[in-house]
C-alpha cells in the first residue's frame, strides 16, 4: 500500500475521493517558421481568421452558459476584449510583418513579453490576471494548429480530473455530477478558474507542480481543497480517515453557511462589519451568498487594463452603477485607480522607472493626471446616486495628497452639478494606510478623512523593505513582526481618537489565524475574499473581544515574530480546536505555520 502527498494551493474547499482521470489537453509544440515576404499578408489573414473563430467559440459559450453561472459571463466578455487588445492583436500582426514569422510563434513572443510585464506587478490579484491573457493566446494558438482545446470533459462516470491547467471556459463546461474535484499543475487561488470552481462547489487544488508525472488514470486519489493537497493512496486507513474528514467538513460547511448571515459579533458584544473585496461584477453573487455586508474594496484597475484606450466616464459609470444597484442597500467602497509603476495603462505615457513600486503610481499618478482622475471621480459620484458609495484613495503618504485629491473631487462635483447629474453630496472619503509615513501621521490624517482602510500587504512590504515577488526574500514577509503589530495598533488608536473607523482590507483580514489579533486591537471592519466570510464570522462569534485584547497585549510584549506566532498558535488551538487543533482540525493552517517556524528568524 502506498500513500503519496503532493501540496499545492487549496482553490475551492472540500474533499473529493475518486478515480483519477488525466485530461489530455492536446499538447502541441509551437514551431518557429520563417514566412517569405510574399506570404506575409496571407499569414496575417490566417491569424485574423483564427481570432475570429475563437471569438465565435466564446460567443457560443456565452449563449450556452448555464443560468447558475450567468454571473461569470463577464470573464468571457473580458476574454473577447483581450483578443482584440493591441497588446495581443496588433503586436502579433506587427511581429508577423516585421520579423517574417508564423502567427503561432509571434503569439509565443507576445506571451513572453506580456509575462515579463506582469511579473513586475506587485499586486498579486492583478499579476494573476496574466492567466487570462495566457488562456486567450493559447486558445488562438490551438485554433491555428487545429487542436481541440478540451477533448475529454464529457466524462461518463464520476472522476477526479487531473490536468496541466484549466481555463475558466473549461471549468464552466464541467458537470459537477461527474467531476468530483480537480487538480492542476498551474493556477492560483484568485484565478477565474478557481472562482468558477467555488461557484460550482467542486473541491479543487491548483499549483501542484509536476503532478502529471506522478498520477495515473484510475488510481484512487483524494483532493483536499482545505489543505491544498492531492493524496494518491490505496491505503484503507487513509481513505477512511479522509471520508471522516469529508463528513466533518460537510457538517462544518452547513454550520457556517447557516450562520453566515448573522451579525459578526463577539460573545461580549463587539460588533464587526464584514465586507468583501471584489473586482468584477461576476463576484457580486458570492458577496451576498456568503453573508458579506457590502464591498469594502472594489478594485477598479481591470476596466483600465482590459481596454485598448482609457475607459470613458459612461463606461465606468455603467459598471459602478450596476454594482451599486445590485448590492443596495449594502455600501460599496470604491478604490480610485491604483495603477502606474508596476501596473500600466497603455494610453497614459509613463517613463521606465528603476523602482516602479516606489514610483509614479496610485494617487501620485492620479494627481499628476487630473483629467484621468476626475473622469473616474465623476463616474463614482454619479453611481452614488443609486446606493451608498464610499471613495477610497490609495497610497496616501501625507496630508497634502489628501488636500489635492479633495480639490479635484470638488471640481468633479461642480462639473456634475452644472450638468444636473445627481450624486451623494456627503459621500464619505477614506484613505488607504499602506506606507509607514501614513502610520506615523495617522493622527493628522484622521482629521482629514471619514475612515481608514489598512492595506496590510503593502504596509508590511514597505515597512519591512521586503519585495514579496522576489523569491529570495519573500520568506521574510511577516505579518506578525512586532513592528507591524505596533504600527497597526498606532493606526487604530489614532483613528478612534478622532472618531473614525478603521477597516483592514489586506490579506490579514481574510486569514482566519489573524482574527483574534485584529479583534484584540479593535479593528472595526474586515474586508476579504467573499468565500472566507462565513468562516471568519464563525470565528468572531465564537470568542469574546476581552480574551482577544488580553492575547494582543501579551503579543505586544514579545520581541520576535517567532514568539508571537507560538503564542498565537497556542491560543488558536485552545479556543478553536475544531479548526486549528493539530489532531482534529479541518484545516492545515497550524501544521503549515509550524513548519514555517523553522525558516524564519525574526
**What string of DSSP letters covers 282-348?**
GGHHHHHHTT--SEEEE---HHHHTSSSPPPHHHHHHHHHHHHHHHTTS-EEEEPP--STTS--TTS
235 pLDDT tier (thresholds 50, 70, 90) = very high
Q: Cell numbers for 418, please give them.
A: 452644472
530 and 563 share a domain? no
251 and 273 share a domain? no
Average pLDDT over residues 448-468: 91
CB 273 within 8 A of CB 524: yes
523 and 584 share a domain? no
The pLDDT, as a whole number, for residue 348 is 56
70 and 157 share a domain? no
Q: What is the pLDDT of residues 30-83, one digit of tens each?
A: 778 888 888 899 999 999 989 998 888 888 877 776 666 666 677 777 788 888
pLDDT higher than threshold 80 for residue 129: no
Containing domain of residue 41, as a range? Answer: 37-145
Which of 87, 131, 91, 123 is CA-nearest to residue 356? 123
Cα–Cα distance, 138 to 111 (Å, whole number): 9
Has residue 166 been placed in a domain? yes
The pLDDT, as a whole number, for residue 450 is 98
Binding residues: 299, 335, 434, 457-458, 468
Per cent of the chain over pLDDT 70 is 87
- CATH number of domain containing 421: 3.20.20.60
Catalytic positions: 192, 505
The pLDDT, as a whole number, for residue 148 is 55
Q: Of the residues 256, 272, 292, which one is the last residue of a structural domain?
A: 256
Rg over alpha carbons for the chain, rounded to the nearest Å, is: 25
Binding residues for phosphoenolpyruvate: 299, 335, 457-458, 468
212 and 268 share a domain? no
The pLDDT, as a whole number, for residue 113 is 85
Has residue 550 been placed in a domain? no
The pLDDT, as a whole number, for residue 257 is 85
- CATH number of domain containing 19: 3.50.30.10
Cβ-count burial of 518 within 10 angstroms (0-12 exposed, 13-18 middle, 19+ buried)? buried
Cα–Cα distance, 585 to 539 (Å, whole number): 14
Has residue 44 been placed in a domain? yes
- CATH number of domain containing 81: 1.10.274.10
296 and 203 share a domain? no
Which of 344, 337, 338, 408 is CA-nearest to residue 370? 408
Q: Of the residues 224, 256, 288, which one is the last residue of a structural domain?
A: 256
Cα–Cα distance, 179 to 366 (Å, whole number): 46
Q: What is the pLDDT of residues 291-348, one digit of tens each?
A: 999 999 998 987 787 666 788 999 999 999 999 999 999 999 999 998 764 445 555 5
368 and 466 share a domain? yes
Average pLDDT over residues 595-602: 38
138 and 49 share a domain? yes
Binding residues for Mg(2+): 434, 458
Has residue 397 been placed in a domain? yes
Has residue 510 been placed in a domain? yes
Q: What is the pLDDT of residues 501-541, one digit of tens each?
A: 999 998 899 888 999 999 999 999 999 988 889 999 999 99
Work out how many domains the chain is built from and give that number: 4
The phi and psi torsions of 209 (rounded to 5 degrees) equal -60, 130
What value does the mean pLDDT of the chain take? 86
The pLDDT, as a whole number, for residue 602 is 37
Three-state DSSP class for residue 592: helix
53 and 133 share a domain? yes
CB 512 within 8 A of CB 464: no
Amino acid at each position: 500500500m502506498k500513500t503519496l502527498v503532493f501540496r499545492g494551493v487549496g482553490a475551492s474547499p472540500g474533499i473529493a475521493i475518486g478515480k483519477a482521470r488525466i485530461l489530455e489537453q492536446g499538447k502541441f509544440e509551437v514551431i518557429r517558421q520563417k514566412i517569405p515576404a510574399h506570404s506575409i499578408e496571407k499569414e496575417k489573414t490566417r491569424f485574423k481568421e483564427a481570432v475570429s473563430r475563437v471569438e465565435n467559440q466564446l460567443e457560443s459559450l456565452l449563449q450556452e452558459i448555464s443560468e447558475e453561472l450567468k454571473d461569470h459571463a463577464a470573464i468571457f466578455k473580458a476574454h473577447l476584449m483581450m483578443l482584440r487588445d493591441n497588446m495581443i492583436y496588433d503586436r502579433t500582426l506587427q511581429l508577423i510583418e516585421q520579423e517574417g514569422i508564423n502567427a503561432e510563434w509571434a503569439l509565443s513572443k507576445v506571451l513572453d513579453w506580456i509575462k515579463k510585464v506582469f511579473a513586475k506587478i506587485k499586486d498579486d490579484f492583478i499579476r494573476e490576471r496574466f492567466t487570462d491573457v495566457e488562456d486567450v493566446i493559447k486558445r488562438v494558438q490551438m485554433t491555428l494548429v487545429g487542436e481541440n482545446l478540451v477533448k475529454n470533459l464529457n466524462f461518463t462516470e464520476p472522476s477526479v480530473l487531473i490536468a496541466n491547467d484549466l481555463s475558466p471556459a473549461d471549468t464552466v463546461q464541467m458537470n459537477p455530477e461527474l467531476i468530483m474535484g480537480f487538480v492542476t499543475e498551474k493556477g492560483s487561488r484568485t484565478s477565474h478558474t478557481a472562482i468558477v470552481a467555488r461557484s460550482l462547489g467542486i473541491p479543487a487544488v491548483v499549483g501542484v507542480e509536476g503532478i502529471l508525472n506522478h498520477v495515473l488514470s484510475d488510481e484512487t486519489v483524494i483532493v483536499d481543497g482545505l489543505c491544498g493537497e492531492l493524496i494518491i493512496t490505496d491505503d484503507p486507513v487513509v481513505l477512511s480517515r479522509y471520508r471522516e474528514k469529508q463528513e466533518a467538513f460537510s457538517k462544518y460547511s452547513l454550520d457556517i453557511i447557516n450562520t453566515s448571515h448573522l451579525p459578526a459579533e463577539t460573545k461580549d458584544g463587539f460588533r464587526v462589519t464584514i465586507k468583501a473585496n471584489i473586482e468584477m461584477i461576476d463576484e457580486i453573487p458570492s458577496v451576498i451568498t456568503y453573508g458579506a455586508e457590502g464591498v469594502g474594496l472594489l478594485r477598479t484597475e481591470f476596466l483600465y487594463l482590459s481596454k485598448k484606450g482609457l475607459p470613458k466616464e459612461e463606461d465606468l459609470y455603467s459598471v459602478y452603477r450596476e454594482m451599486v444597484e445590485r448590492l443596495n442597500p449594502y455600501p460599496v467602497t470604491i478604490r480610485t485607480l491604483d495603477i502606474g509603476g508596476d501596473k500600466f495603462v497603455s494610453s497614459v505615457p509613463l517613463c521606465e522607472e528603476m523602482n516602479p513600486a516606489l514610483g509614479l503610481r496610485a494617487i501620485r499618478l492620479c494627481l499628476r493626471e487630473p483629467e484621468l482622475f476626475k473622469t473616474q471621480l465623476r463616474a463614482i459620484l454619479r453611481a452614488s446616486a443609486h446606493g451608498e458609495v464610499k471613495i477610497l484613495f490609495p497610497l496616501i503618504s501625507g496630508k497634502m495628497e489628501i488636500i489635492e485629491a479633495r480639490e479635484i473631487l470638488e471640481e468633479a462635483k461642480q462639473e456634475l452639478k452644472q450638468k444636473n447629474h445627481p450624486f451623494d453630496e456627503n459621500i464619505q472619503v477614506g484613505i488607504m494606510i499602506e506606507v509607514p509615513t501614513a502610520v506615523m501621521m495617522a493622527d493628522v490624517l484622521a482629521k482629514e478623512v471619514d475612515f481608514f482602510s489598512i492595506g496590510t500587504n503593502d504596509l508590511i512590504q514597505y515597512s519591512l523593505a521586503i519585495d514579496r515577488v522576489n523569491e529570495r526574500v519573500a520568506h521574510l514577509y511577516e505579518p506578525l513582526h512586532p513592528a507591524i503589530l505596533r504600527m497597526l495598533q498606532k493606526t487604530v488608536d489614532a483613528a478612534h481618537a478622532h472618531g473614525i473607523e478603521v477597516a483592514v482590507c489586506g490579506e490579514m483580514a481574510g486569514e482566519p489565524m489573524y482574527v483574534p489579533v485584529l479583534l484584540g486591537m479593535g479593528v472595526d471592519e474586515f474586508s476579504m475574499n467573499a468565500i472566507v466570510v462565513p468562516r471568519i464570522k464563525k470565528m468572531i462569534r465564537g470568542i469574546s473581544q476581552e480574551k482577544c485584547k488580553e492575547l494582543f497585549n501579551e503579543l505586544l510584549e514579545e520581541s520576535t515574530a517567532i514568539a508571537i506566532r507560538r503564542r498565537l498558535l497556542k491560543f488558536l488551538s485552545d479556543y478553536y480546536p475544531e479548526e486549528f487543533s493539530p489532531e482534529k482540525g479541518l484545516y492545515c493552517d497550524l501544521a503549515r505555520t509550524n513548519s514555517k517556524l523553522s525558516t524564519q528568524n525574526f
